[in-house]
Amino acid sequence: MSLAFATERRLLAEDEIEPIRRSHYPLLEDLPREEVQDLARWLRARRDRARDLMRTHRRAKRGKSAAAPPLPDADRGLAAKKQVFAGALRRVNARLDALLGAERRAANLARLRQALARRQAAVPQHPAAGATRHAGTRSLPNRRSRPTIHGARIGSTSQAGRNAQARRDAR
């Protein structure tokens, strides 16, 4: 869940407010990729530091650490601070993904255009035959032998039909 900017400002120290402010969208879209990457590194380091401090405090409460036990409400403030850094990191990572995606698309488009230019400039491997002397290909004779039909069978089916019709007409 995101926090209001006033709540974020209340939770953060003075030197942490400016990077968090730059992680919000009107300012984040104007940053170049290198600054967005630096901001992501800084936010990740701060989030990890808050996570590690919370872990150390929990260990101290259980008596597993040599450090003195922290104040009872110290973890709540650290958890809220970690949430601020995590939200800012989520926004910055989304912007970084968008920037990298745009760069990838531009690089792919440039490679595709280069490939198209190479393809259009290449000499065809199998050039057209051009004008030929003949109108087209010659038909080849069929090599299969035709079945031989006995002469007495030729026309016998149609004659049988005529004979049957004549018998019906005579009735």
pTM of the model: 0.65
Tell me how crowded residue 147 is: count the other CB atoms within 10 A of its CB.
Answer: 5
Residue ranges of the chain with pLDDT lower than 70?
A: 1-3, 67-72, 132, 134
pLDDT at 101: 97
pLDDT at 125: 83
Closest listed residue to residue 56, CA positions, set 74, 80, 81, 83: 74
pLDDT at 71: 67
pLDDT at 149: 81
Distance linking the first and last C-alpha atoms of the chain: 100
36: CB partners within 8 A, 6+ apart: 28, 92, 95, 96, 99
Strand extents, DSSP E, the chain = none
Closest listed residue to residue 95, CA positions, set 169, 165, 30, 171: 30
Residue pair 75/58 in contact by the 8 Å Cβ criterion: yes
List pLDDT tens digits, range 3-25. Answer: 677 888 888 988 999 999 999 99
Domain parsing of the chain, residue ranges? 5-121
pLDDT at 1: 52
pLDDT at 59: 85
Residue pair 53/59 in contact by the 8 Å Cβ criterion: no
